[in-house]
Structure 1
């Protein structure tokens, strides 16, 4: 059974590495065929230097898309073979300029025939394929430059795990989690205040009995996030989004986003025209979440919390 047919795209790195190794092995023998003493991995550096002007290692690395340490190692290896030379930059003595040695220049003349034959061989392969590998590589490089494979996998992981999150209404069995999750984040950044204890010690009397609601995020049946929608006695604002907390162990699963949207949907179902909140700008992920949810900064009323330095509202 063909391993790659069985595993599929999961093994893309292994398959590309195998293809690279096969081509590199052939390249080594091709250099020998033309009596050129060259390591295939040196080629990008050699080719750049063969264009004439001397360059710094930094400039070479930038041009070929390699790291500075990688190019530095290649230059050292080529220098041992006598293919390159280094000298101080006349305008900046702190920089070394790299160029081909006379031995390297000789290879530049000898290698032209190899270039022509290799190019013809590759074009012949391309003529017998249905897909243009070169263009496909360019497309993949462009897309991965915009967003790495790691980032894309992280997003898929987050989306998959977020589908396991269930948002449910508060009941007394969640009171301990409601308090613990909030105490955890408040104590990490600030200090618990009187208004915190009022809401967290008696959510039934302080929030629910006054027309508010509390939503709980469950991940595999465990409470990992909470958020309250508090009815406000205010002519300007209808409800307040408050006491949102997510367990650090459950972050990265879009729980804050899911809770925020669920609270806004709840407010709409209650006929609210807007939702107000108070926060602190030190909580950058939270502020970014609120902006993403559509909240905008306002100058609100006096806050019962010392830690409050930003007030926001979401018009529904």
Structure 2
């Protein structure tokens, strides 16, 4: 019996809804760990957290950090960290926007484009596995959508403040 099979030994599971953030992080870490293992097996240097930025840049050419953050629904700071890692790996470069000199547009380098092309079959397999998992979990994405909508309506912060009185 593993720790996952023993609900009494699993503090997060035992904590119920109070541990929703911990449970989501744990699930995300597990998925990322498996994806990282698959990347290592291909011999490619690629971090799972780079996926969304690389896929968007492969599809849409040059994008600003703000545009990427908005499309991915994450913070500007998060995309900036990803940008820095991709730049160190030689997978992206940037140019100054012609209309706004303060704005930089990121783009994949030829090496970044070649890597995206090589990883596309793995990404397709990862996406197929995600569809299988979602079906097996009886549409977990619908529940996640509802959770995101509930947090968008009233943040966790505001809910806690209201409960504190």
**Shared fold per TM-score greater than 0.5:** yes
Structure 2 match to 1:140: 147
Shift of residue 64 of structure 1? 1.3
Task: Tell me, in whole angstroms, the C-alpha distance in 1 between the residues paired with 2:151 and 2:13.
Answer: 24
Shift of residue 133 of structure 1? 0.9
User: Is residue 61–residue 107 contact of structure 2 (8 Å, CA) maintained in 1?
Assistant: yes
Structure 1 match to 2:5: none
Indicate yes or no: 2:100 matched with 1:92: yes
Provide Cα deviations, 1:240-290, integer angstroms capped at 9, x if missing partner: xxxxxxxxxxxxxxxxxxxxxxxxxxxxxxxxxxxxxxxxxxxxxxxxxxx
Task: Tell me, in whole angstroms, the C-alpha distance in 2 between the residues paired with 1:111 and 1:66.
Answer: 23
Bigger Rg, which one? 1
- Aligned residue for 1:91, secondary structure, equals coil
Q: TM-score, normalised by structure 1?
A: 0.47
Structure 1 match to 2:156: 149
Indicate yes or no: 2:54 matched with 1:46: yes
Task: Tell me, in whole angstroms, the C-alpha distance in 2 between the residues paired with 1:5 and 1:100.
Answer: 41
Q: How much is the aligned-residue C-alpha RMSD, in angstroms? A: 1.7
Q: TM-score, normalised by structure 2?
A: 0.86
Shift of residue 33 of structure 1? 2.6
Structure 2 match to 1:36: 44
Structure 2 match to 1:65: 73
Task: Tell me, in whole angstroms, the C-alpha distance in 1 between the residues paired with 2:94 and 2:159.
Answer: 42
Shift of residue 99 of structure 1? 0.2
Gap runs ≥5 in structure 2: 1-7
Task: Tell me, in whole angstroms, the C-alpha distance in 2 between the residues paired with 1:60 and 1:79.
Answer: 15
Q: How many residues are treated as equivalent by the alignment?
A: 157
Structure 2 match to 1:109: 117
Residues 8 and 92 (structure 1), Cα distance of their counterparts in 2 relative to 1, 3 Å cut? closer
User: Is residue 92–residue 109 contact of structure 2 (8 Å, CA) maintained in 1?
Assistant: yes
Structure 2 match to 1:297: none
Task: Tell me, in whole angstroms, the C-alpha distance in 1 between the residues paired with 2:82 and 2:122.
Answer: 22
Residues 7 and 93 (structure 1), Cα distance of their counterparts in 2 relative to 1, 3 Å cut? closer
Residues 82 and 148 (structure 1), Cα distance of their counterparts in 2 relative to 1, 3 Å cut? same
Which protein has the bigger helix share? 2
Indicate yes or no: 2:18 matched with 1:14: no
- Aligned residue for 1:93, secondary structure, equals coil
Consecutive aligned runs of 4 or more in structure 1 exceeding 3 Å deviation: none
Gap runs ≥5 in structure 1: 159-316
Residues 126 and 70 (structure 1), Cα distance of their counterparts in 2 relative to 1, 3 Å cut? closer
Relative contact order, CA 8 A, sep 6+: which one is greater?
2
Shift of residue 5 of structure 1? 4.3
Shift of residue 15 of structure 1? 1.5
Provide Cα deviations, 1:211-254, integer angstroms capped at 9, x if missing partner: xxxxxxxxxxxxxxxxxxxxxxxxxxxxxxxxxxxxxxxxxxxx
Shift of residue 85 of structure 1? 0.6
Task: Tell me, in whole angstroms, the C-alpha distance in 2 between the residues paired with 1:72 and 1:14.
Answer: 24
Task: Tell me, in whole angstroms, the C-alpha distance in 1 between the residues paired with 2:20 and 2:93.
Answer: 39
